[in-house]
Structure 1
Amino acid sequence: MNLSELIFLRPWWLVIPPLLLVLGVVLRQSGNGGDWVRAIDPSLLRTLEKRSAFKRRGKGRPRFLIWSIVAAIIAVALAGPAIRNQASSSFRNLDGVIIALDTSKSMVDSGAVTEGQIAATQLIDNSAASQQVGFILFAGDAYLGSPFSADRQMLHPLLGGDLSNIVAEQGSAPARAMALAQTVFSDADMIGGDLVLVTDGGGVDPAAVEAARALRKAGRRVNILFVSSAQSDPNMPVPDKAGAVRLAAEGGGILTDTANLSPLLSALDLPLGQKLEKNGYTALAWLDLGRYMLILAAIPFLGLFGRRA
């Protein structure tokens, strides 16, 4: 149990204890007998007390104090004090990474696809052990290279081979790659997940932007690993970094290049508990201690069952 990460899931309940404190101070300042003490002759007041016709408020204060303590403990319990659930990092079917590699002609002819293969290999080898990894190849269409798997070694042959003619359809259609990634995520019942598009930004059109938005709405993130090499053929499309930036922004991810993989690795290595929390699965990420505090509230509550004098 790591109390250094203690948080309150419903902090608005914490306003109750200060209000109870203010109420206690107000009652204390009002005096034991209220306005009667100031308005009645002291000898007459003593006579009324002897005949039990008048009782000072002070005799009821211990019960009010007990009620206040019980209410304060319950309020804190309802605020949801919680610590991180250490078991959340072991859930293997809740978070995954899909690498989608652009094998279009512009990527192959410029040599950028080779650079992308090397960077993709580094990503899968350095991703968290709790994450499953899938692989997609795309150009004018998209194909599943490998479903989700925890075995990184099975992806090495795919990333180390010749990809120049592996996708027959010409062009670059990242929208198809993102649609396929959404299907893979859904079929695997993944709650969270990251898609990494390894691309030179080609083919970013309204359909691609809409696909990125759909992934973000489903709780995924679209990250861009931008690769760019010199174009030897002036007739080939030039890298579109502006389009890649827009795609990452619409997909809720980040954009980085092959020269600096650290930001992307850090984003992919974000603790699963934080990812689950962002997707609305707080109960899986945090252990709520409020229920145990209700047992603590029962201790002063027992004092209310004592025999009255």
Structure 2
Amino acid sequence: MAEGRVMGGLILLRPWWLLALPVIAALAVVLWRRRARLGDWERVVRPEMMAALRRLGHVEAGRRGARGLWAMAAAGLVVLGLSGPATQRREAAAFANLDGVILVLDASPSMTGAEAWGQMLTAGRAAISGLGARPAALVVVAGDAYHGAELSADHRELAQTWQLVGPGTVPDKGSRPWLGLEKAGEVLREARLVSADVVLFSDGGGLGPEALEAAAALVRAGARVSVVAPEGVPPAEVLARAGGGEVFSPREGVALGAFLAEAGRTRLERADYPLLFLADHGRYLLLLALLPLLAGFRRRLA
């Protein structure tokens, strides 16, 4: 696990390197105070002769001190680079095979015929909008479960497919949400995801022992199960508790989107993948440190 300190929008991966900056600053102050001195020559040579030597170009006051200051500037940049200044890159494509979301939509007649069906679809669109770079898949279930959309980072296509689900989408009558959770487990295994969020959209029908068993299997596979259901549905709360997730009402689509936006990052950080979310810019500072070094080594051509 990487250690770091947050400074505004900047994260320092190795902040202990900053302890060297006061030492470099002290050395720079000493060199600055000595920049115009020429050692013991200023004590033994008369001021008039020293001034004449300077006019003739035989003495360049402060050249050694200036070179030292350039070296201190380079050292400061090196220390800053070694401290690991980094920024978050939540949209990086590197997460595609690590963390995903599987939406399981109950499209049984009791769901599609209810007044809350439109709110369910709206909550789903909010969930999709909060996915960021996380790939997502859709499983549609009623009497049986089917892949509605394969795991992909193409959220636009997923949203279009989501909006098309309605009465008659699943020809098998009934309400067997555990089959949808089992299908989500298949997606999880086939994609070899390190972690995942499974979100079940249900009215509570069929959330019995089979669903709890399927949720437990998902947890063992590294997933977390949340439920979107109307308020006051005890089976939904029991299932979410067993799956380690949360319960959202159909009106809490924005909260669901925010939950999914942060959930993947938190889970991967706990799994020791934090650096995948950070872009270390220290190497650019190391390259920049070459400039004061070049300035310190420049030579007079004439």
Call closer, same or farther: CA 1:66–1:155 in 2, change over 3 Å: closer
Q: Deviations over 1:145-177 (max 9, x none)?
A: 43236423334443343658446xx7653xx64
Q: Which aligned pairs between 1:46-65 and structure 2 lie closer than 5 A?
A: none
Relative to structure 1, the CA distance from residue 239 to residue 275 in structure 2 (aligned partners, 3 Å threshold; closer, same or farther) is closer
* 1:14 and 2:14 correspond: no
User: CA offset at residue 86 of structure 1?
Assistant: 8.4
Given candidates 283, 287, 293, the residue that maps to 2:285 is 293
Provide the secondary structure at the position in 2 that maps to 1:222: strand
Letter paired with 2:85: P
Give secondary structure in 2 for the equivalent of 1:73. Answer: helix
Match of 2:197 in 1: 194
Separation (CA, whole Å) in 1 of partners of 2:137 and 2:90: 25
TM-score (norm 2): 0.59
What SS does the corresponding residue of 1:227 show, helix, strand or coil? coil
Distance 1:183 1:88, change over 3 A: same
Which residue of 228, 232, 238 maps to 1:243?
Answer: 238
Cα deviation 1:171-195 (Å, max 9, x = unaligned): 653xx64453243245346676532
Match of 1:122 in 2: 122
Paired position in structure 2 for 1:148: 151
- Decide whether the 8 Å contact of 2:194 with 2:222 is kept in 1: no
Alpha carbons of structure 1 residues 163 and 206: separation in structure 2 relative to 1, 3 Å: closer
**1:159, 1:18 → 2: CA distance?**
66
Q: Identity of aligned pairs, percent?
A: 27
The CA deviation at 1:87 is 6.2
Q: Aligned partners of 1:70, 1:99: CA distance in 2, in Å?
A: 52
Shift of 1:75: 1.7
TM-score by length of 1: 0.58
Match in the other structure for 1:53: none
* Structure 1 position 282 matched with structure 2 position 275: yes
| Counterpart contact for 1:120–1:159, Cα < 8 Å | no
Contact 1:273 1:286 in 2 (8 A): no
CA distance in 2, matches of 1:179, 1:16: 55
**Does the 8 A contact of 2:123 with 2:254 survive in 1?**
no
Distance across 1 between alignment mates of 2:90 and 2:146: 36
Q: Over aligned residue pairs, what C-alpha RMSD do you find?
A: 4.8
Distance 1:14 1:156, change over 3 A: same
Residue number among 152, 166, 172 corresponding to 1:159 in the alignment: 166
CA distance in 2 between partners of 1:124 and 1:157 (Å): 12
Query: Alignment partner of 2:137: what SS?
Result: strand
Cα distance between partner residues in 1 of 2:26 and 2:216: 55
How many correspondences in the alignment? 255
Q: CA deviation at 1:245?
A: 4.0
Corresponding residue of 1:136: 139
Question: Partner of 1:159: helix, strand, or coil?
Answer: coil
| Pair 1:96–1:117, CA change in 2 (3 A) | farther
Question: How far is 1:293 from its partner?
Answer: 0.8
- The yes-or-no answer on 1:74 pairing with 2:78 is yes
Q: Give the partner amino acid of 1:125.
A: R
Give 1:259 shift.
Answer: 3.3
259 and 295 in structure 1: CA distance in 2 versus 1, 3 angstrom threshold:
closer
Aligned to 1:234: none
**How big is each residue's C-alpha offset from its partner over 1:24-60, in whole Å with a ceiling of 9 and x where there is no partner?**
78x89xxx9xxxxxxxxxxxxx9xx99xxxxxxxx99
